[in-house]
Structure 1
């Protein structure tokens, strides 16, 4: 508990009592509370009995002194959530037993940070959207999670949203209302329903990494232009085309409109079904591009101009079954500059039809 009376609770390492509580007066006692929580000894005992329903071993070890060590994981329930109304940070990262977040999460009105990454969570309750002070939500590698609460747009103070590795099928409606969003590392384009890609254009503060899944489901070039990717200060962009049952027409014009900001440093294109890359991929536009990953683009017959990317250090090309010729255009031999002047890593395979 800090000077304002708030708790920080972290059970990401449930087999270890990782927080140090300093009772007044007395020896240090380890609790499953991080950030040096200060409690009196009677209150420590009350806390352990109320919130940590697992066997505890009382022991003494130098230099810590008297210690309480937890043997089993903490059973997650509304019983202890409802008592922690001042909690600001909750990490359940890697908590395998968590399959359904309870409605009790809505009691944590002061919660700023919530990490449910690497859990087996299958559903988030709509009541979670009452956490209007929540600023960071992490759902990394939540493989069992396929949808987000319908009222997700009510998390009006959300600044950081991470869901890479999750199996979310579509973004919640009205994601553009989250005006304070600064990082959102994945956007899923749905065949039906959910927020459209163009809502990214309303979010003026977005930076960092971005993965756009199911790009093949985008059916209008105007929708891509309204997303204003070229105005977003991204350092990483991943365009993924898989998981689309019906691929929209005009994919070459759509990917042309997906041009990112010139400051981008890493680009991945996975499963692109067009016959040629957009003009912005090669040449001087991506002057700061360091890493380029081109995966499973089976319809390509000729590689574009990559040799003149001045900062390119890593190039990975895999699954280009239709490549017949690697010509001068790939190296940019018509230019006065030496090709691949910074390249230090090249990986290429599965170009089965290569002739030259």
Structure 2
């Protein structure tokens, strides 16, 4: 009897998103059909620029577009999200271009490079990502123990911005936190713990995607790196109520003994399946040099009846040295993965393929 097996096909062609030194790319599709890529660009004398480039051909090519901010501090982890235009107070015309939020880590350093203050900062663009202004601090705190890796999404009803981030509580303990905004990022709720309660694990690098479960029900799949095995591995949780509660925690991928798999990001396809990209040092020889020496890989996931997901064997997206991947769906059955490799931002298309098997 023949059956079909679905997996990801990784395109051989590689796209350059940006060819100057940069890292931590993330993609954002806008309502005007364009795609923004945000990443950290390294400038002389240790300065960093949170950079935005734009594509109008489905992420095949990108052109310079905007810059959120520059800093000599620890400024990184840029994440972009389009939000609905805010209602005008006095009848002013609504913006004709998309309104976009940018969330990022924005930390102060002393003269010795030691962190003294931590922030998750939010800026706003009302012209589709070209120019930016400060909007709010989603969360901030003094040292010690940091804040990292914001992830923005809109609630299912489009009325609430949800911002997930990683917060260190101790050297061996980091949890995923969530703050909410009902005014497009101008103000934020108190933080809510999403993962890590009661466990001394370093949960981090969270990514989320809304998938379909059991013929059409909405399920929000959260992926993260964690230290349950000592080294980093990848686990997932699922919410069936639009991020109000999460459960069904399970393993997505574990590298071989003594090696790491981390920095996951996720997207969902039209049929409800998902793809997770991540970096791993499991293929290197000699001692682990995590996070250096990593390869970008991807796994394909489909729902089990119990609310967990079944994950495929990994496929290589980009050989070492590659790191800090992002991913976004660009068609019903295709996504583009972006990553840093050889100090430039590159990308490859991943497509759902159906193979016949006996």
Q: TM-score range by the shorter chain?
A: under 0.3
TM-score normalized with structure 2 length: 0.25
TM-score normalized with structure 1 length: 0.25
Greater fraction of residues in strand? 2
Greater fraction of residues in helix? 1
RCO higher in structure (CA 8 A, sep ≥6): 2
Larger Rg: 1
